[in-house]
């Protein structure tokens, strides 16, 4: 996350999307969540949130552009604020203006990223003095993906999302994100997964990958376990994956629980060709992996 502080009462946070470069679902836990093994990578697609401390104790969320998301207490921004308010007896309110650029419910972690930005904003505006580790631990109460956004931007994520091992694999490549306008429930996706197909596998790792070419070649050995839930019932997702491969992607797969499908390219793809884009109602973004090591600067 990247922060620009306007005053003691106001700041702006740019908070990124993430992709799952691979995703294994290992088992269903007793708490109802699933253990995963995944490589999360932050990418250069950002939501922009303006936060302002206000009198009172409520939160107000304003959208910069029309987006179909709830603005009540089911919104992760609101949930994150109420968590911080309860935990630290915050006696102020918060006004939030959201510029939503990350596709909604798309497997890119946009809601989780916004929640992390809210926790960070509360830490700064209300002078709580929390470390990144402390914020990450708190944020798990909002959502499984939220702790990742307090990392350096690339990490092997295990458990239900709370175990984050920061990594330094190569980042010198490009990605195309293609998001069809489909509504997919993360909870339903996990519920439909047949875990029997994954139980006999060893946990995948990328140890020893030094070059970009070696890294990309190793990524091909695994995919996203959740693809098989959707590709039979939503064949357009399988076609999108195949389309990216035909357009030169070295790796193509779904991110998270979808429906975004991404392709990895060694060089910047030639997106000027009119024939490049697939037919259909899509949102397309060209991004690069980023490091979040320069947090608190913007």
> Which residue numbers are catalytic?
18, 145
Backbone torsions φ then ψ of 114, nearest 5 degrees? -65, -35
Reference 62, options 77, 79, 74; nearest CA is 77
Q: Are 12 and 48 in contact (CB under 8 A)?
A: yes
Phi-psi map region of 109: left, alpha, beta (phi>0 left; psi -120 to 50 alpha): left
What does the H/E/C string look like for the chain? Answer: CEEEEEECCEEEEEEEEEEEEEEEEEEECCCCCEEEEEEEEEEEEEEEEEEEEECCCCEEEEECCCCCCCCCCCCHHHHHHHHHHHHHCCCCEEEEEEECCCCCCCCCCHHHHHHHHHHHHHHHHCCCCCCHHHHHHHHCCCCCCHHHHHCCCEEEEEECCCEEEECCCCCCCEEEEEEECCCCCHHHHHHHCCHHHCCCCCCCCCCCCCCHHHHHHHHCCCCECCHHHHCCCCHHHHHHHHHHHHCCCCEEEECCCCCCEEEEECCCCCCCCCCCCCCCCEEEEEECECCCCCCCCC
């Amino acid at each position: 996350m990247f922060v620009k502080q306007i005053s003691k009462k106001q700041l702006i946070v740019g908070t990124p999307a993430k992709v799952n470069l691979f995703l294994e679902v290992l088992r269903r836990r007793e708490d109802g969540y699933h253990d995963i093994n995944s490589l999360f990578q932050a990418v250069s697609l950002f939501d922009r949130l303006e936060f302002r401390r206000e009198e009172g104790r409520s939160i107000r969320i304003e959208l910069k552009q029309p987006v179909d998301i709830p603005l009540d207490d089911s919104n992760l921004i609101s949930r994150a604020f109420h968590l911080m308010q309860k935990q630290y007896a915050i006696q102020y309110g918060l006004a939030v203006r959201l510029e939503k650029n990350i596709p909604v419910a798309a497997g890119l972690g946009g809601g989780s990223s916004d929640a992390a930005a809210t926790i960070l904003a509360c830490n700064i505006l209300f002078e709580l003095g929390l470390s990144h580790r402390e914020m990450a631990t708190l944020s798990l109460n909002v959502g499984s993906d939220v702790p990742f956004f307090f990392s350096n931007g690339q990490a092997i994520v295990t458990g239900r999302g709370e175990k984050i091992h920061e990594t330094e694999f190569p980042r010198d490549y490009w990605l195309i994100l293609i998001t069809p306008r489909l509504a997919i429930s993360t909870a339903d996706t996990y519920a439909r997964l047949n875990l029997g197909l994954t139980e006999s596998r060893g946990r995948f790792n990328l140890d020893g990958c030094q070059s970009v070419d070696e890294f990309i070649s190793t990524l091909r050995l695994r995919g996203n376990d959740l693809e098989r839930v959707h590709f039979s019932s939503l064949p357009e997702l399988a076609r999108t994956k195949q389309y990216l491969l035909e357009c030169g992607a070295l790796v193509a797969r779904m991110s998270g629980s979808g429906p975004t499908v991404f392709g990895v390219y060694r060089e910047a793809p030639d997106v000027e060709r009119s024939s490049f884009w697939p037919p259909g109602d899509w949102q397309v973004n060209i991004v690069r992996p980023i490091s979040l090591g320069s947090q608190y600067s913007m």
